[in-house]
Chains A and B, each alone.
Chain A
Amino acid sequence: AAGVIQSPRHLIKEKRETATLKCYPIPRHDTVYWYQQGPGQDPQFLISFYEKMQSDKGSIPDRFSAQQFSDYHSELNMSSLELGDSALYFCASSSRVANTGELFFGEGSRLTVL
């Protein structure tokens, strides 16, 4: 079965650079989520999209933006990168009409800011 696809898997950037992460949700899932997970922490919710519209916003810095495109893939854009942005970034998708409605995660994109 198709899973959530994220790219790139690993990314190394310098401070003040820009990074873009991509996510392809599971087909027919209507909601996409972005999470940031630092070492030893639980996933922190950044932002979500329902049917390509931003549905909720969490602790996403103003330097970050995200969108969901007509083909349902989503991108997280991060600018003016800081050392503290180094983390695992997970994309996840879910379906509101699915029987159990659980969250499916991609394998994550590991960002290292030097």
Chain B
Amino acid sequence: RKEVEQDPGPFNVPEGATVAFNCTYSNSASQSFFWYRQDCRKEPKLLMSVYSSGNEDGRFTAQLNRASQYISLLIRDSKLSDSATYLCVVNRLYNFNKFYFGSGTKLNVKP
């Protein structure tokens, strides 16, 4: 079983839709949480860090639920340019500062 589980999708949504991704992690010792965006054949880029209090950046909202060990990403008013794979990433600083990746959720935003 992977340390970080994500629904691979694809999520096919029309422009303007709201879409949510969830991710679960298995190790309660995990300390830092991130959503990365990866475009085809490009490197992953940090979209948002995820905090227990929740955080918002424009159309993007991330939430962390430590008790249930899941992380969510909400995208409002989807744009065509949001089409990408979204990777859930979890860090354990005290395990060699290791990062654990979900398999990614593919989002296709259609006109």
Q: Taking CB as reference atom, which chain B residue is nearest A106?
A: B43
Residue from the list A42, A48, A100 in contact with B98, Cβ < 8 A: A48
Contacts of B93 in A (CB 8 A): 96, 101
Q: Count residues of chain A with CB under 8 A from any CB of chain B.
A: 25
* Minimum CB–CB distance for A100 against chain B, Å: 5
Judged by a CB distance under 8 angstroms, whether A105 is at the interface is: yes
- Residues 18-41 of B at the A interface (beta carbon under 8 Å): 32, 34, 36, 41
Judged by a CB distance under 8 angstroms, whether A82 is at the interface is: no
The number of chain B residues touching the other chain, given as a range, is: 20 to 34
Q: Taking CB as reference atom, which chain A residue is nearest B106?
A: A40
Offer 29 A-B interface pairs, CB within 8 angstroms, sorted by A. Answer: A31-B97, A33-B99, A42-B87, A42-B102, A43-B101, A45-B98, A45-B99, A48-B96, A48-B97, A55-B96, A56-B96, A56-B98, A90-B43, A90-B44, A94-B99, A96-B93, A96-B97, A100-B32, A100-B49, A101-B91, A101-B97, A102-B46, A103-B44, A103-B89, A104-B46, A105-B44, A107-B43, A108-B43, A110-B41
- Chain A residues with CB under 8 Å of chain B are 31, 33, 41-43, 45, 48, 50, 55-56, 88, 90, 92, 94, 96, 100-108, 110
Please give me the 8 A-B residue pairs with the lowest Cβ-Cβ distance, nearest first: A56-B96, A105-B43, A42-B101, A55-B96, A42-B103, A100-B49, A102-B46, A108-B43
